[in-house]
Amino acid sequence: MKAGNLQIRPDGRLRHFLSTEGLTRELLTEILDSAESFAGVTEQSVKKVPLLRGKTIVNLFFEASTRTRTTFELAAKRLSADVLNINVNASATTKGETLLDTLRNLQAMHIDMFVVRHADSGTAHFIARHVQPHVSVINAGDGRHAHPTQAMLDMFTIRREKGADFGRLTVAIVGDMAHSRVARSQIHALNLLNTGDVRIVAPRTLIPAHVESLGVRVFHDLREGLRDADVVIMLRLQRERMLGALLPSEHEYYRLYGLTEEKLSIAKPDVTVMHPGPINRGVEMDSQVADGPQSVILQQVTYGIAVRMAVMSMAMQQNTTQEANAQT
């Protein structure tokens, strides 16, 4: 079954959020619009709304990620849901229990949503195919495949900084495209939103074959790739996912592809600099850029809560509506 069919209910609403690929521009725009309303909630003194009161959400993380897990937990709690964080390394899966066994046992506790992070590509899709009809699944990152909520918080950041007209923007994504699940999700989202010019900038060893088929222009020279860019998204160098000697050294990578103020001057004067985090300072960019006036890296973290609130509430909206109708 295609990801898009799996993610979307028959009425066109979101059921799961597994990938930006296969969704519609209308759904992506709805996520951004919904996140806009939730951004106001996060700025209030009482940061809670009752949309998911009585619901139980499980953060099922097979791979460590403090920032992503924390923002999902905060998002769920601000929607008034009950949250359970599963430490998979200490769970029965390390004692021979299969993933499906774990899933079935958790579902027996009447779980409403799973937020899944796993080192293997496709795990979130696998879980989505085996959950009960009322359960939603959110992909919090799987292997080298996808990280859709990160991509959507990046789109939300761009829209807040540059406005809703993506068609006039040039966006340069710089770094380790070959191992980045974030970049793939970003590219699909940018193209769905009709971005004017989407560029990939990286050494040849860190660009997958046939990447142009995704609808991007490829550059191997950083300065050329940055020329007149409105937005620059730096990718983290994925050391833990690399196989073999793909780079001479981190120092050489920084010399050629590290973002400095001098290199950034080639982009538009009002360029926006982004990074999904965590930053390897002195590898992907220097501190003057990371902490400089063009950087919105900390804003991305803040916006991540609102975007994840939007995705969770949209995915569970139909179930909540059906239950309310059944009670009336």
Phi/psi of residue 197, nearest 5 degrees = -145, 115
pLDDT given for residue 1 in this prediction: 41
Q: Which residues of 145-156 are buried (b: 16+ CB within 10 A; e: fewer)?
A: bbbbbbbbbbbb
Enumerate the domain spans of the chain.
3-146+302-319, 148-295
pLDDT given for residue 46 in this prediction: 82
Q: Which of 318, 314, 323 is nearest to 37 (CA)?
A: 314
What gap in Å lies between CA 60 and CA 54, rounded to an integer?
A: 19
3-146+302-319 and 148-295 share one fold: yes
pLDDT given for residue 235 in this prediction: 95
What gap in Å lies between CA 23 and CA 189, rounded to an integer?
A: 9
Beta bridge partners of 58: 84, 114
CATH topology of domain 148-295: Rossmann fold (3.40.50)
Query: Residue 255: CB partners within 8 Å, gap ≥ 6?
Result: none
pLDDT given for residue 169 in this prediction: 98
Show pLDDT as tens, one digit a residue, over the chain (328 residues). Answer: 445 579 999 999 999 999 999 899 999 999 999 999 999 887 788 889 999 999 999 999 988 788 899 999 999 999 999 999 987 765 555 556 788 888 999 999 999 999 999 988 999 999 999 999 999 999 999 988 899 999 999 999 999 999 999 999 999 999 999 888 999 999 999 999 999 999 999 999 899 888 899 999 999 999 999 999 999 999 998 665 454 556 767 888 899 999 999 999 999 999 999 999 889 999 999 999 999 999 999 999 999 999 999 999 999 986 554 454 444 3
Phi/psi of residue 175, nearest 5 degrees = 130, -145
DSSP per position, 46-105: S----TTTT-EEEEEESS--HHHHHHHHHHHHHTT-EEEEEEGGGSGGGGT--HHHHHHH
Which CATH number is 3-146+302-319 given?
3.40.50.1370
